[in-house]
Structure 1
Amino acid sequence: MDWKAVLDSQPSEEQVKSVLEALGAVNLNEPTPELLAAFSTLVNQTIFDLPALSYEGVFQSITGLGCIISQLGILMNSVNQSPRIPVLVSLLESVFDRQTLIRDLWIAKPNEAQAIFVGSRLLSTTSMLKSDTWVADGKQYSAWVAAQLLVFDPPALLVDKTFKLGYARDAFLAFLASPEKFKHCLHSMRPAQQRYAFAHGGFPSLEYLTVESSAAILKYLDPSIDLVALAQQFPLSLRLASACIVKDFVAVTRKLLSSWGDRAAIQTVSMAYQAAQTQILVSLACHMSAQDAKVIMGSMEFISAISHRLESLSERARSMGTLVADMLSQKAGDKLKFAMESGEWNFQVYTPRPLADALAELKAPKHPELELTPAPITAEKGSDDEGGPAGDSDDEEDEKPVAQPVYIKTLLEYLSSDSYEQIQSGLQYGSQLIYRKADFGTEVHQYAPELLVLLAGLGDKFNIRNFSELRQQIMTAILVVDYTQGELVAKLALTGDLSLFQRMSLMSTMVLAAKELSNYVEPEVAASKLLPEAQHKTFAKDIDSIVYSLQDRLVLDTKAKMTEELGGPQVLRVSKKLQLQKGPSRGTNKFAKIAARYFFFPLAAHRPRRAGDYTPMILGHLLKTLGLLIYYAYPSNDMPDIVSELLDMLVVLSGTEPVLIEAAYTALLVLCDVAGGILVSRYPQKLAALYDWARQSWQDVPDERVQKLGAGVVLRLGDLVEQISKMLEG
C-alpha cells in the first residue's frame, strides 16, 4: 500500500484507519523515506481533517515523535501562532500517556530516545509554547521523565541527563516516589553524577524538611559521595542532617579539619562558609563516640587546624577554633577547656526518623518560617478585642468602628483578616504597639516570627494608602525590639517564595532597623545632583533614599580631586555650595555588637551558590544592604570579618550590569570610609583588584550620577593603594 498516496487523496475515516493499521504492522522506529512521507502527511493534513480518529499508537515511535517535534518547531517559528499547534500538543499529550514509552523506545533506539526525551530536542521546542499544557512545563516534564524511568532499570546516563534537564529538584522528588528503585538508580551512577544529582536536586528538595526527615532520606539512599562536603554550601538543616548519618566519623572529621584549618583558607575563604564548616564540625562532635574524639584530637589535622585558628588575626576565626577544640575535648573527656560563646551554634543530637514518616513529610512539607499566608488567628470569645456582643447582626458589626489593637495577638489577627478596617487599623497602629510593648513581658518576642512571615508576604488587596511604608514600619519595629529575628528576615528575603519588591523590602527593613539600633544621626547635607532636593526634606523611608544620602556624603570629600584630577567631559562637576560633612554622630552603638551575628552573616550566608540564582536587581540590593550594615556596625569588633566577606562578594559580583556597578561603588565607598585601614593592612590584593576594576569601569557608565560615584570610588581606592605602595617601600 502506498500510504502517502492514500493519505493525499482526501481519504475517508475507514481508509485512514487502514493506513494506521498498516503502519502499526511495521517497525516505526526505523525511519524510511516511505514512512517519513506518510508521517509528514499525517502531521500536516490528516490529523486536522479527521481529528476524531486515534493516532497516538503510530506516533508512540521514534519516527512519529520526531515528526511531531519537527512540525511544532516549524509552526512555532512562523510569524503568527498557527491554530494547528493546539492539535499537535493534544496529540503529544496522548502519546505521552503510555507508561512504558521511554522504556520501549530506549530498547528500540537508545541514542534517538535519549536525544528526544533527555536531550534538548523536545523540551527546547515545547518550552516556546504559549499554552498551559504540562509538556511545556519543564518541572512537570522532568517529573514525568523520572516516573517513566522508574518502570524499568534505566542506565545511569538517562538518570544523569534527567537531572541535567534544568529541573533537578522536580526530578528528584519524582524519583522518590519509589525510593527502592531510585536507590538502585543512584548506585549505578558514578560519584560525579551522584554529586550533581544531590547538589542540584537532592539537597534543594530536602532543605525545608526537619533535620530528622532529611537525615532519614539521605541515610536510606546512601550515595557513594561525601554528603558532609556537599552540605557545607547548603542551609543549616542539611548540614546537621549530613553530620548525623556519617559512618566513619574519624575519616570525615579529619578531612574537614584539613580544609577548615588551612592557614590560607582561614584568611581567604568567606566567613559564612567557615561558619558552615564549623557548625558541621560541632555537629560531628555531638554525634561521635568518645573514642573517635580521642583519635581525632591526637591527629596532626586537629593540632594544625587549631593552631592555625588560634594564630589568626580574625577574632571570629579564633572563636571558631576554640569552639571546635572545646567540643572535641569535652567529648573525649579531656581536661582541655576553652571559653566559648555557644549561643550561635546548634549542639543538638539528631536521630533519623522512619523513612515512611520522612517521605510523608516530603509530600506535604510544613515550613512555618516560609508559609507566607498563615491562617487567621481566632480571637477568644468574650475578649475585649471582639467587635461586639454575640447577638449583634452582621450589619451592626460591619458598621461598628474597629478598635485600635492593644495586644500583639490582636494585631496578628487584624493583619490576617479579610477586613479592610482591621488591616488598615493594624497597619496604622502596628509599629506604635510593638514599641509600646517592647519593655513589657515577652509578647513581642512570642509573636515576632509569625508576624514577620505574615508581613513579608502581605499583599495590598484593598489599595490602602501608604500600605508599603506602614508595613515596613511594623517589620522594622519588630526587628528593633527583637533583633534576633534578623536571621529569619535574611532567610525570607533570599529564600522565601516572594516577589522582587517583597524581597527588597525585607532587606530594606534590615537596614532601617540597623540604622535605628546604631543611634545613627543623619547629617544635614545640601541638596545636590546626587540626591534630589525633595529627598533631603523627607526622612529616609527605604534603602534607596538612605543609599543616595550616603553616596552624597561620601563623595563630597573627593570633590576637589575629582575636579583637578578627573575633571573634563567625563565627570559631572560638583557644585561649589557643597560642603564637606563630618562623619555621622552616634550615641552608644548597640548594633555594633549584634551586626555580624544577627544581620550581616545570616544575609551573606544566603548569597548565590550558583550563577543565575538571583537577578541583578536582587544582587545589587544585597550588596547595598551589606554595605549599609557595615556602615552602621562601625566600629564593631567583627569589622575585619564582615569586611572580608563583602570584599569576596564584590570581587565576584561587581560585573558589568549597571545596577551591580552602582551597588559595588556604594559598597566600596562605605568600606573606604569605615574600614580603610583594614583594607590596606589585611586585604591589599583584593583592594588592588577592585581598584583596577573601578578604573576600567567608571568612564563607561552611561548614568552621570553613577559615573561621578565611580570617580569618587577611583580616588578613594587610589589613596588606599598609594598607602600600600608606601608601606612596601618602607
Structure 2
Amino acid sequence: MDELLTPARTTRGSVDEQPFVQAAKVKEVLSVPRGPILSLEDALDTLCSKPDFNALKQTLQYLDPGALGESTTNVNVPGPQVAKLVNILVSSTIPDYWAILDKKSNKGKTLAHPNERTILLRCLSSVSGLGAILVRLQTLIALSKEGKGKTGATDVSQHITDMLDIAKLLLKGKKFISGIWDGLQHLADARLKRDLIWKEFASILGGGKFLSMAAEALDIVKASRKDIVRNYWIASGSQYCTWIGRSAAGMVLDLREDDLDASKAVAQLLSKSFGLGYMDEVVKQVYSCLLLENGTHWAKFRSLLSQFPAHEQRNFFYALLRTIGKQHFSSGKVSVGDKWWLEDLDVVSGAAALLHGVIRDSETLKENLVAWLTNNWGGGVGEAIGVRRAAVATISQDEVNTQILLLASGYVHRSHPMYLFTLARSSTHLSGVSNRLAASSIRSRFLGMAVGTAISNLVDRPDKKMSFGIEEMESPEAVWYKSLTNVQDQIGPISGLMTTATDKTKRDTTPSPTNSRTKQPMESTSKIVHIEEIESDDDDDGLIPYEKPDSDEEDEDEDPTLVQRNKPTAPVYIRDLLLGLRDTENYDHQHLALSTAAALIRRKANFGTEVSDHAEELATLLIGLNDKYDMENFQEMRLQAMIALLVAQPLKMGQWFSKTFFDGDYSMGQRASILSTLGIGARELAGYKNEDAALTGAGPALQFPSKMLPEKLHAIYATPVSPVDALSERLERAMIAPMAAEAADKISGPDVLKVRTFSSRMEVEKRRKKPIANELAKIVAEGFFFPLTGRWWVQLKTYGGKSVYFDPFLLTSFLKTLALILHASGPSTLSLPQMTSEFWDLLLSLRQQSDPTVLEALLFAMLTLLEINEDKRRLAEEHSKELLETQEWVTVVFEAAGRGGSGGNTEGERARMLAASLLMRTREVVEKYQQLLMGEMFDFN
C-alpha cells in the first residue's frame, strides 16, 4: 500500500533561502504528468486543470476540426460534450491565453502563435461556439452593470474586448455560415434536430441578438476605456448586414441548384436579417454576388427568392429596385438634348435585363412591378429616372407620375399609334390636363402643360400641336420632359451593368466588414461601381487552415550561437507570474513577467480568486524587486503592476500598502513607490485614470518643451520627477490659476467698465466635464487615509522627530500623497469632516519644519484642504482655531519668503506663491465669517 501514497512531487526550500521568502512561496497546483490526448474526456480534463501552454497546444491539436485524426468527435457538430468543451474554451481558456495567442511578434508584424490561435478559432466556428460567446458577453455585461457604482468592482472591459475580437475573427471568415450548415449535415439522421438548431442559429445571427449584444458590449468598453478608439463592424448595423448578405450569397453559390433544404435555410437567415433595419444592404450584397460579380446564377437566385413568403418577395423586390437606383444611377438631372438617354443606355439595358430576369417566371413579381409604377405614391418617387426607364422597358413588351406617363406614351405610340391618338382625344386625358392647368400649384401646372404638349407632339399634325406660348415650355427642363417620349430602351444583356466599371475611378460604396476604417459616404452616380472586398492590411485573413511558421526576432542576429529557441511564454496564471518575478537569475523570464504583470492582474481581477488569494504575496515581491538587469522602464512597469493590485482589491490592499509603508523593511525608494501606488491608485479609483496615464507609464510620455541631451547624458543629468510630485504640481496650477485670474480681475477696474462675453448654452455644456463615478469616496477613510495618518501618529509618539519618516524626502512625499488622496475623494465624501480634522492637526504639528521641500508640501496640503472643503461656513464653525492658527503661520511664511528667507531661489518663489494663495483663501473665510470667529479670536489672543 505504500506505493499508493507516493507523492507526485516533493518541493524543498534551499538552505540559504530567507524565512520570509519561504513563507511567500506560491501555493502551486500540483501538475501530474499527462499522457497523450486520446479522447474528448481527456481534452476536457486537461482544459479544466489550468493547463500550461504545451498542454493547451497538445489539446488544441487533438480537437482541430481541420485535421481530424483519430478523434471520433468533431467539435463543430453540436452535442452535450461539445457544448461543455466549448464553454470551457470560452469561459476559461480564452481569458487565460488569448493575450498570448493574440500577441504580435517581430515588432508587431506577425503573430507569435498563429497555428494555436487559428485552431482555437476553428474550434469555436459552430453554433455551440457562437452561443457560448453570446452567453459570455451577456455575463460580462451583467457584471459590468452590477459593479457600476459599487466599491471594489473590477473593470471587465478587457474581457469584453477579447470576446469582441474573437467574434470579429470568427464571423470574418468567408465560409462561416456555410461551415455552420455543413457541420449540421452530420445530423442528417435527425432532420428535425438540425432544423431546430439552424432556427436558433438564424435567430442569434439574423434576429439581432448578436448585433445588439455586440453593440452594448462595445458601448461599455468605450465608456470604461477612453483609450479604445477602434470600432467593430460586428457592432455596426450597416456593416453587419452587409456581411450577412455577402456570406449568405456565398453559401448559395456553393450549393447545388436542387438543394432546396439549403436554399430554404439561407432564406430563413435572410428573412430574419430583414428586420434589422438595413434590408437594402442585405439585398444589394445578395444580387451583386449572385448576378454581377461571379457570373449570372439565375437558377440559384430564383430558387432562393422562391423560398421567401409572398410579402417578403415583394419587399425584397422593392429593395432591389431601390438599390439599383442608388448603386447604378444618379438621382440628379441628366444632360439636355434629344438623345440624352443614349448616354447611359447600356446601364439602363442591363438594369432592365436584371429586372426582367427576376420577374420572368413570377406573375406575382410582375404585378408588384406594375404596382410600383402605378401606385398612389408615384412610381419610385425620389428614385433616379434610370430606374423608371428600366422598369418601363421591362414591362413594355407585356403591357403615376409624369416621367412614367411620358415614357409609356412613347412606347405605346411606337407600337399602337392609333391607341394613343384615341387616348389623347378622350375626355379622361383632356380632363386630366385641364385639372392640372387649374391647379393652384405652379409645379402641377408646369407638369400638366409638359404632358399635354408632349403627347400632342406625338399624335397631332404640326399645325394642330398644342402650344401654350410661354417661356417655361421652352426651358431646358420642359424640353427634357418632352423628350421622354423619344426614349427607346431595350432589354439587353445583364453585363451592361458591369461594362462601365473599368471606365471610372474605383471606390467602395459599402464598407467591407473586414475593415471598418475604410468606410466612406455613398455617392450617387449614373455608372455601376463594381463591388470588391477590401482586404485588411493590419488583420490576418479569415480562418486559414494552416500558416507557415513565423521567423523569430532572434533569427536576425548575425551570431547563430546567440539565437534563443526556447523563448519564455508570457505568464497566464498568477502563479506563473509569481514564479517569473522570483526568477532573478533569468533576465527574459523576469522581464516578461514584469512587463505583463499589470495587464495580467487587471485581466484576472474579476476572473476567479487568483488575484485576491495571492495579492499580498505578489505585492511583497513587487515592492522588494530590484532592477538587477537595468531594465528599461523598470520603475514604470513595477508601479503599474502595484497600481493594478491596489485597484483590483482597493480596501484590502489600501490597508496593506499603508501598513507596509511603516512596518516593512524597505529602502526609502521602495517606500516612495508605495506612496506613489496609493496616491495614483486612489486617483484611478476616483476616475482620473486617463488624466494620469502619461505620468505613470500607462500612456504616452510627456514631451519636454525644449531640446534634450543625448539619451545617455539625459539619463545621467536629468532629475527624475516622481508621479506624486508631477500630480501635485498639476493640482497647484489648477488651484492657483483661478485666484490669479480673480486678482487680475480686481486690479483691472470696476465691474461696470468691463465687457463680458457670454457663451451659448451649447458651448457651455460642451466644455462642462461629465460626472465621474467616484469609487474612492466610499472606502477612502477606512482603506487609505486613516491607516496612513494613524500609523504616522504612532511613529511620532514612539520615535519623535528622529523617525526615518521625518526625512524630508519621505515626509514631502507622504504629505503630498495624503493631499492627493483627499483631493481625489471629492467634496461630497461623507467622511470629509473627520479627514479634515485629522489632516489639519497633522499639518499644524509640522509647522516648525524648516526644510524648503517640506514647507512647500505643507503649503500645498493646506491649500488642498481648503479647496476640497467647499462648505466654508462649516470650517469657520468647527475649525475656527485651526483656521486662525493657519492664517497666522502662513503670514509669517509669506513675509519670510518675501525677505529671502527661503534663499530667493526658484523653490523660494514657489513657496511664496503657495503661501500667497493659502493666505488669500484663509482671509476670504475669516472676512466672510468673522462674526462666527469673534469668540475664538478672543480666546486665541
Q: TM-score, normalised by structure 2?
A: 0.33
Between structure 1 and structure 2, the one with the greater Rg is 2
Structure of greater relative contact order (alpha carbons < 8 Å, 6+ residues apart): 2
